[in-house]
Amino acid sequence: MKVLGIAGSPRRGGNTDLLLGEVMRGAASRGAKVKTIILNNLTIAPCQHCDACLEKGKCKVQDDMQMVYRELEQADRIALASPVHFMGVTAQVKAMIDRCQAPWARKYVLKIPPLGNRRERKGLFISVGGRKAANQFEPALATVKSLFRVLDITYAGELLFPGVDEKGAIAKYPDALHQAFLAGQKLVEGTPAE
């Protein structure tokens, strides 16, 4: 069981990083092989809508997204973490998502598995917003659910924490980190995270 963590915040050691770390620790405690990639350290160009992927099912842009495709192909579980930035996912995450137009083309145009194999995958979404409004996660949720649906990743739930702004402030909510640890365990066990 391989779990891929995708850290979408530009802030290292920030709130979503801490939560993602606990999710991965929880998954590892159940024997999963875990790996986290930090999108902000990668070079991922925005989709150019060149339509090359419609013919070959592959993106012709040669940058770090090629490695992300391979990691997604090999993963059984995906934990995607993004803080809310202007009501949506971060630019780092959105660039990665838009580059999933290539898997989209594989699935809907070429009628082949979007991630190259028929592995059963499940995905968890982790987010934090500085504002207290609970509905602020809706745009990001819609985007991430759309991504998971296109990639045939079963949506396994979410961890959403409003009203957490300062770097690392999530650590003042020990229950949040504990919830993240449990969600990591559940993700691997296959039961939906709460």
C-alpha distance from residue 193 to each of 4, 53, 59, 87, 160 (Å): 16, 34, 32, 23, 12
Q: Is 136 in the site for ligand FMN (CB under 6 A)?
A: yes
Identify whether the C-beta of residue 38 lies closer than 8 Å to the C-beta of residue 10. no
Nearest-CB residue to ligand FMN? 14
Q: Is 115 in the site for ligand FMN (CB under 6 A)?
A: no
89 DSSP 8-state letter: -
- The site that binds ligand FMN (CB under 6 A) totals a number of residues, namely 19
Q: Is 53 in the site for ligand FMN (CB under 6 A)?
A: no
CB proximity list for 99: less than 8 A, separation 6 or greater: 44, 45, 46, 47, 59, 61, 65, 68
Q: How far is the CB of 104 from ligand FMN (least distance, A)?
A: 27
Single residue of 59, 84, 141, 153 touching ligand FMN by CB under 6 A: 84
Q: How far is the CB of 45 from ligand FMN (least distance, A)?
A: 20
Q: What is the per-residue binding string for ligand FMN in 137-166, x denoting contact by CB under 6 A?
A: ---------------------------xx-
Q: Is 73 in the site for ligand FMN (CB under 6 A)?
A: no
Identify whether the C-beta of residue 53 lies closer than 8 Å to the C-beta of residue 102. yes
Q: Is 101 in the site for ligand FMN (CB under 6 A)?
A: no
Q: Is 9 in the site for ligand FMN (CB under 6 A)?
A: yes
Q: What is the per-residue binding string for ligand FMN in 15-34, x denoting contact by CB under 6 A?
A: xxx-----------------
Query: How many DSSP H helices and E strands does the chain contain?
Result: 7, 5
- Largest Cα separation within the chain, whole Å, is 50
Measured CA angle at 36 (ends 30, 41), to 5 deg: 170
Single residue of 25, 58, 145, 167 touching ligand FMN by CB under 6 A: 167
Rg, the chain, Cα only:
16
Positions in the binding site for ligand FMN (CB under 6 A) = 9, 11, 14-17, 83-87, 128-131, 136, 164-165, 167
